[in-house]
Amino acid sequence: MNMQAQRPPLLEVKRNFELKTTLVKASSRLPLPGSKLKRGPEQMEDALEPAKKRTRGLGAVTKIDTSRPRGPVLSTVSQTQGPTAAQKGPKKTGPRGCATVASVLKNPKAAPAAPAAPAQKPGTSAAPMVAGKRPGKRPAWDLKGQLCDLNEELKRYREKTQKLDQENQGLREQLKEAQEQATVLGTERNTLAGELASVQTQAEQSQQKLETLCARVLELEECLGTKERLVQELQKEKLELQEEQKALATRLEEQERRLQASETALSSSEAEVVSLRQKAAAQVTLLAEQGDRLHGLEMERRRLHNQLQELKGNIRVFCRVRPVLAGEPTPSPGFLLFPHGPAGPSDPPTHLSVSRSDDRRATLTGAPAPTTRHDFSFDRVFPPGSKQEEVFEEISMLVQSALDGYPVCIFAYGQTGSGKTFTMEGGPGGDPQLEGLIPRALRHLFSVAQEMGGQGWTYSFVASYVEIYNETVRDLLATGTRKGQGGECEIRRAGPGSEELTVTNARYVPVSCEKEVEALLHLARQNRAVARTAQNERSSRSHSVFQLQISGEHAARGLQCGAPLNLIDLAGSERLDPGLALGPGERDRLRETQAINSSLSTLGLVIMALSNKESHVPYRNSKLTYLLQNSLGGSAKMLMFVNISPLEENVSESLNSLRFASKVNQCVIGTAQANKK
């Protein structure tokens, strides 16, 4: 449909002119980047509606004949045609015509004074110039030319509006990208903040470890200074002995010269006899002096040996991790760590780190639970690859203290299946490489006692082996009809006013060689109470106590010494739930576990009471501590092996054992005194 048929031409011109004015004003109010205001050509036309209402009366004044057919109205030039599209219209349009229309619109009352010009047909030449007007200005009657000019100007403003909308859209997209980038940077900042907190935590832990290592270095430096002073004293003594040896050599040469002179002068035989008697007397005196000196050196050796043991601690704790057995799952890397000592890999390890994954702190997304690391420090830590011989070398000096007259207790503590019995008694099959502490300790004692026999000492050894099951003492060396009568054994004083304890109805067997000890261990292994639990198929359910009473005597000097050596294989320590067995014997297993945990708790209380020097020590709260009370006090030396499993499924019990051992390791007992008479 033709545009002229829809509305009067004068109104169309007025509308386009008002649209131009509105666009000029709106160009200064274009929306800023990121603003929510968006104005297009349609919105601009809506904004021009009040101006249309003000010019509605113009149609009544200016009358234009619309009965004749008019030429087609120029359509809006597309954006791709550019500014040259306006030049293809009729030549009658121009700036003067636009100005005339603008003057008519501004002053509608003057419009009727001018005669209405007849509309020209398409293709006619432009109208002549009106007098008084500038050249090129359209006359007031050339409404079609004015309309074309206004349409071209409207098209330019629409193109400008479209370009501004595109720029606005681009700025909006840039704003959106900037906001997204800001969100990503915020997330990265939070992640870096978490990593910074983690690094700070690790730095604090490293600082704590550094302080511990510094304290250990100071302790070792102090020990080194003591040993250096001892070496200097020994070197000084060595120099004195060398000087004395030179003096004796000189004296011997003199005696030889005198003897030669006596042989040369047969006439002076009486003088030679006197000289020989003097030499014999000197030799006897020298032998007596050497014997006294040798005895003094032995006493000094014992004193220095005890001093060295006291520097290491009268209560020491060693940790041993058993190897993974066949058929057991291999633990994950990093589950157990054995940090090197201050001297590097050559220094025996004294620290142990255990990693534990807390399933209670698992996230809802299914991510793995965080891992918690527990660090422990002991006097020595034996990794899974440690041999029995290496373990015994660490306690051989402690066994020597028992031969010197100091009571000694060595415990094997840990959960069921952690290798306690293997550590104390050894493995099956009689393999010498798998021998435990008991046979190795007795072999060492027999060997040293034989060497001391050359210095005038004689030793005797009496062995006993009992177990404490449900607070009942049983004899593991019972044979024949005496088997199963462990309930008749009681712990009594050896005599009125005596501090020595003995077990009634128990066998005390003198031993002097390794074969006798092996026979006793084999018999005790058969009689010991074992039961099947959920932790181990053959679980020790009682405390086994191997006691060796050592008695030494130096008849020439009237010296005597005696002390017990106690090697205890404690029952499996575990909580009630995982250790219960199924079946009719469930109540028996429950009573056993309660008795075991009670006695182990009492042992810890006794050690704490001794460390705190309390007036009352609860020895009688347990048969185990009551039997060992003479070997736990201030005149005794104690060593505890805490045995743990390398499996991750036993991490709870392993941590409980390590915490108990750490408490024991923090205890300090006074200076030990030898039992001499």
The binding site for ATP comprises 414-421
Q: How far is CA 323 from CA 13, 380, 415, 432, in A?
A: 103, 17, 15, 19
Other CB atoms closer than 10 Å to residue 49's CB: what's the count? 10
Residue the block writes with tokens 């300790």: 441
Beta-carbon-side half-sphere exposure of residue 381 (alpha carbons within 13 Å): 23
Could you tell me the two tokens for 105? 């619109």
The residues near 584 (Cβ < 8 Å, ≥ 6 apart) are: none
- Using CB atoms within 10 A of its CB, is residue 201 exposed (0-12), middle (13-18) or buried (19+)? exposed
Q: Would you call 501 helix, strand, or coil by DSSP?
A: strand
Residue the block writes with tokens 């402690």: 398
Which residue, 659, 626, 622, 625, is CA-closest to 642?
Answer: 659
Q: Which residues are annotated as a binding site?
A: 414-421
At 150, the amino acid letter reads L
- Distance CA(400)–CA(188), nearest Å, equals 64
Which residue, 390, 400, 410, 391, is CA-closest to 309?
Answer: 400
User: In the chain, helix, strand, coil percent, each to 5?
Assistant: 55, 15, 30
- Name the strand (E) or helix (H) holding 292: helix 269-312
- Using CB atoms within 10 A of its CB, is residue 674 exposed (0-12), middle (13-18) or buried (19+)? middle
Beta strands 501-503; 543-554: pairing state: unpaired
At 512, the amino acid letter reads S
Could you tell me the two tokens for 378? 């002991």
- Distance CA(449)–CA(461), nearest Å, equals 10
C-alpha dihedral (93, 97, 101, 102), degrees to nearest 10: 110
Residue the block writes with tokens 């002097």: 512
- Distance CA(62)–CA(8), nearest Å, equals 10
Beta-carbon-side half-sphere exposure of residue 56 (alpha carbons within 13 Å): 5
Could you tell me the two tokens for 611? 């460390």
Could you tell me the two tokens for 110? 């003057």
Is the distance from CB of 628 to CB of 545 less than 8 angstroms?
yes
- Distance CA(387)–CA(398), nearest Å, equals 18
At 663, the amino acid letter reads K
Q: How far is CA 17 from CA 157, 160, 458, 468, 639, in A?
A: 12, 17, 135, 116, 109
Residue the block writes with tokens 């009681």: 490
- Distance CA(277)–CA(280), nearest Å, equals 5
